[in-house]
Amino acid sequence: MSSKKKNLSSFEGESHTDARGMRIGIVTAAWNKEVTDTLLRGALSTLETHGVDKNDILLYEVPGSFELPQGASLVIQELQPDAVICLGCVIQGETRHFEFISQSVADGCMNLGLKTNVPVIFGVLTTENHDQAIQRAGGKHGNKGDEAAFTAIRMVDMKRMLKIQKGQPS
């Protein structure tokens, strides 16, 4: 199904997951701040709507998207959150820089999550232009920050359920 006209951040039909007691780190890139601030607002709203206490949301900023995996790694090492959301925006330019940054950040987030067994959520927009970024950060295509936060909640919930099934306290 094409997403050209769809709000990708609609969670209609999804079961409501109770996120009370979850500790969630959010690492946000300062580069493209107009976009990343909107992603952050969306993520915060979704976390709070699902019951995450404001005191259990750990907010940190890094210079750019390339630094997101390192920032997430530091948050995991020092604070042991249940999940970390990485929010950033990389916009296509005239050089291949876009490709290197986008792939490195995606790989870094994935590898960190696998290595630490802490969900590391890739909430990074990789768009062709500024308008596409705006449309995915609160515009007609929803807010990727909302989606990233909902994904973090779902992954922490899955981890909790697996511990319960295994007979361990969540």
**3-class state of residue 137 by DSSP:** strand
Q: Which DSSP letter does residue 95 get?
A: S
Task: Write down the catalytic residue from 16, 97, 130, 141.
Answer: 97
Token pair in block for residue 40: 């952050």
The phi and psi torsions of 147 (rounded to 5 degrees) equal -60, -45
Asked whether the beta carbons of 148 and 121 are under 8 A apart, the reply is yes
Known catalytic residue: 50?
no
Element (DSSP H or E) covering residue 99: helix 97-116
DSSP string over 55-90: GGEEEEEESSGGGHHHHHHHHHHHH--SEEEEEEEE
Catalytic residues: 97
